[in-house]
Chain A
Amino acid sequence: MSAADVSVLQRPHDRLRRRRAVNRGMEALAWLAAALAVLTLGIVVWSVASRGASALSFDFLTKPMAPIGFVSPHQGLVNAFIGTFILVGLATLMALPFGILIAIYVNEYAPKSIRNVVTLTLDVLAGVPAIVIGFFVYGLIVVAHGQSAYAGAFALAVLMLPLVGRSTMEVLALVPDSLREAALGVGAPRWRTTLGVVLPQTIGGVLTGAVLAVARVAGETAPLLFTCSLVGIGTTWDPSKPVMSVPLAIYELTDSPEPADHARAWAAALVLLIFILVVSLTARWLATRSRRKIAQATR
């Protein structure tokens, strides 16, 4: 470019002006899309909080449910909270070890062809509708053994498995090969390398994945409809019997003709929402921590 061309810098010509307009328009659209996402969450949280907060009380958190349609000011949802705790706890116990083992096999041992097949399988499994998984577990367990918290937890575990497996695979892939080489180079066998050097690097990431999966399945209703829904109103800790759960309670309470039950459904939704929010924030915090740790190791 010759010296005379500097005039271009001062006088914006048409092409440049149009380009700027397009740029501004696109930026506005992107901003709008982002704002809509935040707004949607805001509306959901607001509507749930404004309607549920009034029904939230100490009794609500500590007393069991009354029968649907049976109004008592001193009833709560503690049986549903305990039930969800049992279901999600059992599901995590089932899905976490399997998910981690799958990820270790795929990332550390499997040849590329098998790796691709397993990865695809997990992705497809993650996309299977929850109701289908519920129905599958119904055929597998419930038909022969009846409903139970075990059956419900198993259905939730099938949902969790791909989430845990994929997130663990992702953090394992972040661990630099130089660390594996370092361990193998001193004569360590493969399993020692994986357990002693690779896996400790990923604990934060694995936990993040687990925690996010917990948040996801804690709100699932569909897999429980066939597997863990025929529940009485009493509180039970026995996983061989069906247990009440928060999403199921919301589902049933909204069916009630009684307005007080609707308020309790909103309150239950609020508790679930707060739980998921807290859990997601914990996951974020864990993820940042583990990324920092891995970054340190790669430096």
Chain B
Amino acid sequence: MSQTGEEAVSESSTIEQAVRVETKRQPLPPRERLEQIFDIQDLTAIYGSKPALKNVSMEVYKNLVTAIIGPSGCGKSTFIRCFNRMNDLVPGFRQTGTIRYRGQDIGGKEIDPVAVRRVIGMVFQRPNPFPKSIYDNVAWGLRVLGMKDNMSDRVERALTQAALWDEVRDRLKSSALGLSGGQQQRLCIARAIAVEPDVVLMDEPASALDPIATQKIEQLLHELKNEYSFVIVTHNMQQAARVADMTAFFSISRGGEGERWGELIEYDETEKIFTAPSDKRTEDYVTGRFG
């Protein structure tokens, strides 16, 4: 259960056979023709007095899977949590720079983080279903957001999209905590997409799962990206290579006096990041010489 990414990477030569996902990647159209949903400029994130991220600028495009990779402590999670104001929950957190979501700066005080999270959903590292029934897990968000018409249809649709419907259709009323880890995570995905968000953020969604469950989640991303845009943090490079259209590589930079912070090193099409990176640090990381 608690298999770490490092182990997963080192065992990849044997696991790879079992989890191979069809990745018939169509070439991306040129970037000017892609629709931007996020435009991040000079984002710096600070916990207390320690910077976790400095000067990140990048764009995220619609209906693509964008992967954030990098070594532990490079600020990947901090970064993705800026997208839906999840860092607001952390005392002492502040950020500078701008994150524009479809042109609107969502980092400001005047923006309601609850409204942001309604359009930008999230799936977390560890499956965290509510201790309620399977049905209620998906329906709770719908109720909270007032999407009460055709409730059971919406629940069924979300569970079907998350490839869980066939496994749970006969026990919708039983507790979600009785599901396996992989099923729980797909339930969390169903919960996130049931409220019809625009973007789904995923913070290492498969790191607590076994290879088969991981494969199912990755397959889901392929099937769902026509409807949603995904930003996924992973420290499993194979996973990024399999699922992502665009990949951003973050690394740790060090200053004087033991200061260290995360930085965006390179952001490009996944193909390019893994085959012809333009930065030496990216190359070292993806070839396994570092990290």
- A258 on the B face (CB < 8 A): no
- B9 on the A face (CB < 8 A): no
Of B86, B121, B177, which is within 8 A of A186 by CB? B121
Count A-B pairs with CB separation below 8 Å.
76
Q: Is the CB of A185 within 8 A of B117?
A: yes
Chain B residues closer than 8 Å to A177, beta-carbon distance: 89
Known A-B contacts A112-B91, A296-B177; the reply to A185 vs B131 at CB < 8 A is no
- B145 on the A face (CB < 8 A): yes
Interface bracket on A: 20 to 34
In the complex, what's the smallest C-beta–C-beta distance from B138 to chain A, in angstroms? 10
Rounded to whole angstroms, the CA-CA distance of A112 and B129 in the bound complex is: 28
Query: In B99-131, which residues have CB < 8 Å from any A CB?
Result: 114-115, 117-119, 121-124, 126, 128-131
Q: Is the CB of B124 within 8 A of A178?
A: yes
In the complex, what's the smallest C-beta–C-beta distance from A25 to chain B, in angstroms? 42
Known A-B contacts A183-B130, A186-B195, A201-B131; the reply to A196 vs B144 at CB < 8 A is yes
Known A-B contacts A182-B128, A182-B129; the reply to A297 vs B114 at CB < 8 A is no
In the complex, what's the smallest C-beta–C-beta distance from B108 to chain A, in angstroms? 18
- B273 on the A face (CB < 8 A): no
Rounded to whole angstroms, the CA-CA distance of A197 and B91 in the bound complex is: 22
Q: Is the CB of B195 within 8 A of A293?
A: no
Chain B residues closer than 8 Å to A123, beta-carbon distance: none
Q: Is the CB of B144 within 8 A of A184?
A: no
* Interface flags, B17-51, vs A, CB<8A=1, else 0: 00000000000000000000000000000000000
Rounded to whole angstroms, the CA-CA distance of A183 and B91 in the bound complex is: 19
Rounded to whole angstroms, the CA-CA distance of A111 and B92 in the bound complex is: 10
Chain A residues closer than 8 Å to B91, beta-carbon distance: 111-112
Rounded to whole angstroms, the CA-CA distance of A239 and B89 in the bound complex is: 46
- A73 on the B face (CB < 8 A): no
Of B115, B117, B121, B130, which is within 8 A of A197 by CB? B130
- B71 on the A face (CB < 8 A): no
Query: In A275-298, which residues have CB < 8 Å from any B CB?
Result: 293, 296-297
Q: Is the CB of A185 within 8 A of B130?
A: no
Rounded to whole angstroms, the CA-CA distance of A221 and B119 in the bound complex is: 58
In the complex, what's the smallest C-beta–C-beta distance from B97 to chain A, in angstroms? 23
Q: Is the CB of A184 within 8 A of B89?
A: yes
Known A-B contacts A112-B91, A187-B141; the reply to A182 vs B117 at CB < 8 A is no
A177 (CB) vs chain B CBs: closest residue? B89
Q: Is the CB of B89 within 8 A of A181?
A: yes
Known A-B contacts A112-B91, A181-B128, A296-B131; the reply to A188 vs B141 at CB < 8 A is yes
Rounded to whole angstroms, the CA-CA distance of A139 and B192 in the bound complex is: 56
Chain B residues closer than 8 Å to A200, beta-carbon distance: 131
Interface centre among B123, B131, B188 (most CB of A within 10 A): B131
Known A-B contacts A182-B188, A196-B140; the reply to A189 vs B124 at CB < 8 A is no
Of A179, A189, A190, which is within 8 A of B130 by CB? A179
- A63 on the B face (CB < 8 A): no
- B282 on the A face (CB < 8 A): no
Known A-B contacts A112-B91, A181-B89, A182-B188; the reply to A187 vs B128 at CB < 8 A is no
A/B interface sample: 7 pairs, CB < 8 A? A176-B128, A184-B89, A186-B118, A186-B141, A187-B118, A188-B114, A197-B140
Binding site for B on A (CB under 8 A): 111-112, 176-190, 192, 196-197, 200-201, 293, 296-297, 299
Besides A180-B89, A182-B124, A200-B131, 13 more A-B contacts (Cβ < 8 Å) are: A178-B126, A179-B128, A179-B131, A181-B124, A185-B86, A185-B123, A185-B124, A185-B192, A187-B117, A187-B195, A197-B130, A197-B140, A299-B177
